[in-house]
Amino acid sequence: MKRMLVHRRALVTGGSRGIGAAIVKRLAREGADVALTYVSKPDLAEEMAQSVRTVGVKAIALQADNADAKALSAAVDQAVQELGGIDILVHNAGIAVMAPIDDFKLVDFDRMLAVNLRAVFVATQAAVKHMHKGGRIITIGSCNAERMPFEGGAVYAMSKAGLAGLVKGLARDLGGRGITVNNVQPGPVNTDMNPATGAFADKLRGLMAVPRYADADEIAAFVAYLAGPEAGFITGASLTIDGGFTA
């Protein structure tokens, strides 16, 4: 089977675990050389990079906290240097702090906006200096941008709704340069941070048309399509893959 992303260079933030790891693996299987960022656990990140090298692509792990603008910009520059350029940027890294509005701490508010929203601006600004026609920028948002059905998620929902707005504006800024910008909005996905078992998972399944959690590979497949040549006419879109959570 023909691989869609041969000779393409990708950077995935937060690519050592969960949805990010699935995206790294899928892009690599499609032929892309891949850099991934991580915050902690360098052994896990290097293990991920080594595993995708086995399919015959370059892969590097770069330490960078999304909340640290200088470190994130430096990681983009290092990825460009070591991979020889950048064609695909996937903003996957994100955090979720849930608390009632009376108890929500300002430090958590600031960090969530820094990681979930400001970092997308920072990394995009660094990457587009090196990105050419055919470039792809993909953000991993959340269906909670459109529906927040439980208490404590106001700030998280705001950060992901803001991301959808940023994507629309970036699509206008970069469309003339042949670069597309899209936002993938997953629903519940089975990861170590959000397992598909337990009382909370049971509650979420009750809100969905398809009452199950997604597998991370399903999200990765969607991202790979948007990164590929057949998606060149899709831009500025927030595309929901949520089992009918927002239906």
Q: Is 196 exposed, middle or buried (0-12, 13-18, 19+ CB in 10 A)?
A: middle
Sign of CA dihedral 30, 31, 35, 40: positive
Active site (catalytic) residues: 156
Interhelix angle for 119-127 vs 154-175, to 10°? Answer: 20
Backbone angles phi, psi at 156, to 5 degrees: -60, -45
Compute the distance between CA of residue 156 and CA of residue 162 in angstroms, rounded to an integer: 10
Residue type, 108: D
- Which residue matches tokens 């695909």? 88
The end-to-end CA distance of the chain, in Å, is: 35
Which residues 6+ apart lie within 8 Å of 67 measured at CB? Answer: 111, 114, 115, 119
Residue-by-residue DSSP string for 85-108: S-SEEEE---------TTT--HHH
- Write out the two tokens for 40: 């902690």
